[in-house]
Amino acid sequence: MTLLVALTWDPKPWVERFRKVLPDRDIVVLGEGFDKSRVEYVATWGPKPGSLSGLPSLRALFSLGAGVDHLMSYPDLPDVPIVRVAQDDLTHRMSEYVVMHCLMHLRDQHRFDEDQRAKRWQPDRAPPIAGDVRVGIMGFGVLGQDAARKLKVMGFDVAGWSRTAKNVEGFEIYSGEDGLSAFLARTDILVSLIPLTPDTSGILSRSLFQKLAHDGRLGGPVLINAGRGKLQVETDILACLDDGTLKAATLDVFEVEPLPQDSPLWTHPRVTISPHNAATSEPEATARYIADQIRRHEAGEALENIVDRARGY
Ligand code: NDP
Ligand code: OXD
């Protein structure tokens, strides 16, 4: 069996990890000579056009991340199961990010950072506690649910929004178009963890921000987007920050990545930026996850976390 590693990033650390966890298999990379007829699995992120063609023995594609929009837009995507990353290492990283930024906004850390630079001593006399703040998680899947549980431990009042109706004990979950307005109306901090699909592209826009709660203890609604950059309309975010429709934003993902040098988001005083690393796919843990799936698949068991192509995630 051959595993092809087809990446836009430096494949070296990945090849090393795959060779460690699959020592009895051939691990090959694009650009090196290899026998295409022996490739049964591909581990990939943002494959270049043509790189997944002519693989007659292909049995499955593994996305090296949780999101698969990079594959859904690939022309001539082979007709084999696509498996995405859904494992604890990545999930825990995302929850750390979400909890950290919710707490940062709860405690108004932006203001204290400014005060520190200006050497101003201005304690809050009656700051809210987590229980006063309503967090709404858009995308109540693997990542959304883990973050929700951890936010709840901190005391936040957490609800979720998903495409289909579901019951998750301890949480009020809104769903679909019908549930969106009510979900937004009870949300002070909106956490976006939805996949990018034709239905969700550009969803984080002015018309949605206007429906968020404007009567909350934070003094205005806050956006945290760690889903995908093309979910958000950046000109709307900037305009809404400036006219008070939004109080602050934490953005890990952007319409164009890396974020262009001339983007006003870099220097906006109420925007916190991270370079699409809310939850990176750590090579060791991800290679182990994929190797386990390959071994189970070869033993006749079903692959897990298969993408539904019709839904696009
Ligand atoms: P899941 O597939 O487990 O969950 C996706 C959730 O989004 C589900 O609850 C789904 O609803 C909901 N959803 C999808 N489409 C819609 C829609 N049109 N309307 C309402 N809800 C919708 O994905 P994960 O939780 O594992 O990952 C979520 C996303 O996070 C990834 O797609 C990726 O883009 C992003 N991500 C970002 C990272 C980063 O570092 N910034 C790292 C990892 C992931 P339903 O439950 O009904 O299916
Ligand atoms: C992912 C990501 O989808 O890192 O896993 O963005």
pLDDT of residue 290: 98
Neighbours of 37 (CB within 10 A): 10
Please tell me the distance between residue 34's alpha carbon and the centre of ligand 1 in angstroms: 35
pLDDT of residue 76: 87
Answer for the pair 224, 197: CB distance below 8 angstroms, yes or no. Answer: no
- pTM reported for the whole predicted model: 0.98
Q: How far is CA 25 from CA 1, 18, 137, 139, 185, in A?
A: 6, 9, 41, 37, 53
CB 147 near ligand 1, within 6 Å:
no
CB 229 near ligand 1, within 6 Å:
no
Report the nearest-CA residue for atom 5 of ligand 2. Answer: 65
**Number of the ligand closest to the Cα of 193:** 1
Please tell me the distance between residue 196's alpha carbon and the centre of ligand 1 in angstroms: 8
Report the nearest-CA residue for atom 3 of ligand 2. Answer: 67
Answer for the pair 253, 226: CB distance below 8 angstroms, yes or no. Answer: yes
State the angle between helix axes of 12-21 and 283-298 in degrees (0 to 180), rounded to the nearest 10.
50
In the structure encoding, which two tokens stand for residue 133, read together?
A: 């703040």
For residues 227 and 21, give the distance between their C-alpha atoms in angstroms, rounded to a whole number. Answer: 29
Largest Cα separation within the chain, whole Å, is 69
pLDDT of residue 22: 97
CB 183 near ligand 1, within 6 Å:
no
Please tell me the distance between residue 227's alpha carbon and the centre of ligand 2 in angstroms: 8
* Residue type at position 57: S
- Tell me the catalytic residues: 228, 276
| Residue-wise pLDDT tens digits, 160-190 | 999 999 999 999 999 999 999 999 999 999 9
**Number of the ligand closest to the Cα of 87:** 1
Pocket residues for ligand 2 (CB within 6 Å)?
Answer: 65-67, 85, 279-281
Question: CA 34: distance to chain centroid?
Answer: 34
Regions of the chain short of the pLDDT cut 70: none
Cα atoms in the Cβ-side hemisphere of radius 13 Å centred on 97: 28
Please tell me the distance between residue 152's alpha carbon and the centre of ligand 1 in angstroms: 20
